[in-house]
């Protein structure tokens, strides 16, 4: 089950919200746990036992860690072993949805227990709810245990009328980003991928790369918005995951704005324990490469993901050593252009099946395809131009929506009065789109 579906929007979610608020508060966690297990089992019935057994093992070992530190290593080995087993392809095509997210949440809990930053969660029900909580189970944001520890007590957790309203609005805005923008951008990507190579042009390649970059942004950030909104409805405060990354003026800034909970997790649990930047230059470079190799492999044990991670590691290291000083001397527009181009190249690599495919696509974007063979790729073509014009409005709206312009519009007079009207209109549009059975992929299911 995914958020952007009729069963979730009009059957599952209303039923859960109604039940959650009518039962006694001490039963609220039981409602959320059962709803979360149903939510996961609805789409991944064969993988539900994997998650349940992982939760039970982590909870049991967590109770023992304060007195028996070696239990930490066993718990960590179970989580990391699951990631390697499933994401490394050892289980064939089987891949539990959201495994990268819920194993990292368990790892943060286990590590913080080892550090004695938190106390063990004595309630299996509450721990299981923390790990499996359906709003952020499939696509994050990654919620570190310490940030929601107090909220796990149903008697301490509360939802105000403002939480209900703002949480609902945040959910619908995220839903609209996913369904109205990401899904339609995905259609353009699909059209390009199904177009014969002879009908592609340099401009068409660039349009594809830009479309996919924005598709994955609106897909992932849309889900994060929905998760944050749902969390607020149920009394949780989840961390922000995106902050308009495409307005960045450097790759360093981009990664402070993109998938912030993943970056924060690696910084807290890998980079700093390795010594961060308070070590010799050689060791610091090693730390950078370890973190970004792991960031790439977190997405999947494939050469494309590893290369993608190392690509960013090299760029970030270059900016810290010398490139950043050069960027500061450039006009702001040039800094933005530099960042967007390098990010778009990275997304081509991220979406490619092989490094060779990515190299061929980037080469085509640079007009190098067929160079020296007399069969060079044209700069523009009739078919590419047709599709770009057809999706032109979508591109413009998506570019505008990826900037803080919409946030600034909310500060205008009467914006608060118009907000509920906009939410209703967006929900109706999304519903019509979903009822129509249109293209509705979810990119982050594979993570």
Question: Is there a contact between 195 and 383 (Cβ–Cβ < 8 Å)?
Answer: yes
Peptide bond into 390 cis (omega under 30): no
Per residue in 83-120, pLDDT tens?
Answer: 888 887 777 778 888 888 999 999 999 999 999 999 99
Closest CA relative to residue 183, chosen from 446, 442, 401: 442
What integer pLDDT is reported at residue 440 of this predicted model?
Answer: 62
Residue that is written with structure tokens 């951008």 in the block = 185
Q: What pTM value is reported for the model? A: 0.92
What integer pLDDT is reported at residue 218 of this predicted model?
Answer: 96
Mean local confidence (pLDDT), 199-205: 91
**Among the residues of 88-123, which ranges form H helices?**
99-114
Supply the DSSP symbol for 250: S
Active site residues: 299
| Structural tokens at position 202 | 């340099």
**Among the residues of 249-404, which ranges form H helices?**
251-257, 260-266, 272-274, 281-299, 303-318, 324-328, 332-351, 355-365, 382-390, 392-401
pLDDT over 60 at 447, yes or no: no
Residue that is written with structure tokens 């990654």 in the block = 142
The Cα diameter of the chain in Å comes to 75
DSSP H or E stretch at residue 37:
helix 28-43
Specify the higher pLDDT residue, 432 or 91. 432
Residue boundaries of the structural domains of the chain: 6-157, 163-435
**Among the residues of 116-250, which ranges form H helices?**
124-132, 134-137, 145-148, 161-176, 183-193, 202-233
Question: Is there a contact between 220 and 141 (Cβ–Cβ < 8 Å)?
Answer: no
Give me the percent of the chain exceeding a pLDDT of 70: 96
Distances (CA, A) of 242 to 20, 72, 404: 29, 31, 12
What is the DSSP secondary-structure string of 354-371?
SHHHHHHHHHHHTT-TTT
The Cα 15–Cα 108 span in angstroms is: 32
Angle, CA of 47, 52 and 55, to the nearest 5°: 130
Mean pLDDT over each residue of the chain, to the nearest integer: 91
């Amino acid at each position: 089950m995914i958020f952007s579906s009729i069963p979730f929007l009009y059957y599952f979610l209303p039923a859960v919200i109604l039940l959650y608020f009518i039962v006694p508060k001490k039963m609220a966690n039981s409602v959320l746990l059962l709803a979360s297990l149903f939510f996961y089992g609805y789409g991944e019935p064969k993988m539900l036992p994997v998650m349940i057994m992982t939760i039970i093992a982590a909870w049991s070992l967590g109770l023992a860690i304060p007195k028996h530190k070696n239990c930490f290593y066993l718990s960590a080995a179970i989580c990391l072993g699951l990631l390697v087993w499933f994401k490394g392809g050892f289980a064939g095509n089987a891949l539990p949805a959201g495994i990268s997210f819920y194993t990292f949440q368990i790892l943060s809990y286990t590590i913080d227990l080892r550090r004695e930053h938190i106390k063990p969660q004595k309630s299996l029900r509450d721990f299981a709810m923390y790990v499996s909580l359906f709003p952020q189970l499939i696509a994050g944001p990654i919620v570190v245990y310490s940030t929601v520890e107090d909220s796990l007590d149903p008697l301490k957790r509360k939802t105000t009328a403002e939480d209900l309203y703002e949480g609902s609005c945040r959910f619908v805005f995220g839903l609209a980003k996913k369904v109205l923008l990401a899904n339609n951008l995905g259609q353009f990507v699909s059209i390009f991928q199904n177009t014969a190579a002879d009908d592609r042009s340099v401009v068409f390649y660039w349009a594809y790369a830009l479309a996919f970059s924005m598709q994955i942004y609106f897909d992932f950030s849309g889900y994060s918005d929905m998760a944050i909104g749902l969390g607020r409805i149920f009394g949780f405060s989840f961390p922000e995951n995106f902050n308009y990354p495409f307005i960045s003026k450097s790759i360093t800034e981009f990664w402070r704005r993109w998938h912030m909970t993943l970056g924060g997790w690696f910084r807290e649990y890998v980079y700093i324990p390795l010594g961060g930047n308070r070590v010799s230059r050689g060791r610091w470079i090693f730390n950078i490469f370890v973190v970004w190799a792991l960031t790439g492999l977190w997405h999947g044990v494939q050469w494309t993901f590893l290369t993608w991670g190392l690509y960013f590691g090299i760029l970030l290291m270059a900016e810290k050593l010398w490139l950043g000083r050069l960027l500061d001397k450039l006009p702001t527009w040039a800094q933005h252009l530099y960042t967007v181009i390098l990010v778009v190249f990275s997304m081509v690599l991220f979406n490619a099946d092989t490094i060779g495919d990515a190299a061929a696509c980037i080469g085509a974007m640079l007009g190098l395809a067929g160079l020296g063979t007399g069969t060079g790729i044209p700069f523009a073509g009739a078919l590419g131009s047709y599709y770009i014009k057809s999706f032109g409005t979508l591109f413009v709206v998506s570019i505008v929506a990826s900037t803080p312009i919409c946030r600034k519009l909310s500060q205008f007079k009467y914006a608060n009065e118009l907000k509920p009207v906009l939410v209703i209109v967006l929900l109706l549009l999304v519903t019509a789109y979903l009822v129509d059975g249109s293209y509705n992929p979810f990119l982050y299911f594979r993570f």
